């Protein structure tokens, strides 16, 4: 969980630092759209996001405005909420709610930068065209990718010399959790 928080802060930092570094009128307020599938369920992620912004010098109500849109667990609301954020002329839209939130934001705008948090397989779900070159206005963090299974096993074997068995657990019926590589 800490790695996800760190990755979120780093990704957002890399997205927002250029906004701060560009020649901007004094007092420019950065507007961030924050699209969540369920804010209450992701409170630790949202707090890590705010803390990361503060660490980068962005303070709510001073030099950054965050426009929150919460689907309250009702994914059918995401497209409407994403469209609202797109019309606000945000500097960036952050999606915290997996693949559906990222896809809703992608459909809502082709010009506002979108940073997604923890999309299971952004290439297979058509959020981005590839991991190396996401394309368009969308980038973010993937919490799983089939292409990395081999590399992850390689790291485990290096970390635990003499390892001969690895067990993978998943929830049956949850396609995003199904093993996609041979262990």
pLDDT value, residue 30: 93
Residue 68: phi and psi, rounded to 5, are -85, 135
Q: Domain ranges for the chain, please list them.
A: 2-143, 148-177
Percentage above 90 pLDDT, the chain: 40
Do residues 48 and 11 lie in contact, with contact meaning Cβ atoms separated by under 8 Å? no
3-state secondary structure string, 169-183? CCCCCCHHHCCCCCC
pLDDT band at 24 (very low <50, low <70, confident <90, very high): very low
pTM of the prediction? 0.69
Bridge partner residues of 115 (DSSP): 94, 139
Q: Residue 87: in which H helix or E strand, if any?
A: helix 78-87
Mean pLDDT of the chain: 80
pLDDT value, residue 98: 87
Helices 98-108 + 78-87 axis angle, to 10: 40
Q: How many residues are recorded in the chain?
A: 183
DSSP state of 109: -
Neighbours of 128 (CB within 10 A): 22
Do residues 8 and 54 lie in contact, with contact meaning Cβ atoms separated by under 8 Å? no
Q: 3-state DSSP helix/strand/coil percent for the chain, to nearest 5?
A: 40, 15, 45
In angstroms, the Cα distances linking 102 to 26, 62, 63, 142, 172 are 32, 28, 25, 11, 24
Lowest mean pLDDT among 131-140, 145-154, 173-182: 173-182
Encode pLDDT of 80-95 as tens digits: 999 999 999 899 999 9
CA distance 66 to 35: 10
Checking if the pLDDT of 148 tops 70, the result is: yes
Give Cα 42 to chain centroid, integer Å.
12
Q: What CATH code would you report for 2-143?
A: 3.40.50.2300
């Amino acid at each position: 969980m800490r790695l996800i928080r760190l990755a979120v802060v780093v990704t957002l930092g890399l997205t927002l630092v250029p906004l701060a570094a560009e020649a901007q009128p004094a007092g420019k307020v950065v507007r961030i759209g924050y699209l969540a599938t369920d804010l209450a369920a992701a409170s630790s992620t949202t707090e890590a996001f705010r803390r990361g912004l503060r660490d980068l010098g962005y303070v709510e109500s001073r030099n950054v405005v965050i426009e929150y849109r919460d689907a309250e667990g009702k994914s059918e609301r995401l497209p409407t909420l994403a469209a609202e954020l797109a019309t606000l002329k945000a500097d960036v839209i952050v999606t915290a709610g997996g693949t559906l939130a990222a896809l809703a934001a992608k459909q809502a705008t082709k010009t506002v930068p979108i940073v997604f948090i923890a999309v299971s397989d952004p290439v297979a779900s058509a959020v981005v065209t590839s991991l190396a070159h996401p394309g368009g206005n969308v980038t973010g963090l993937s919490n799983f990718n089939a292409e990395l299974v081999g590399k992850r096993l390689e790291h485990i074997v290096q970390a635990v010399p003499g390892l001969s068995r690895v067990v993978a657990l998943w929830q049956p019926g949850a396609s995003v959790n199904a093993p996609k590589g041979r262990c």
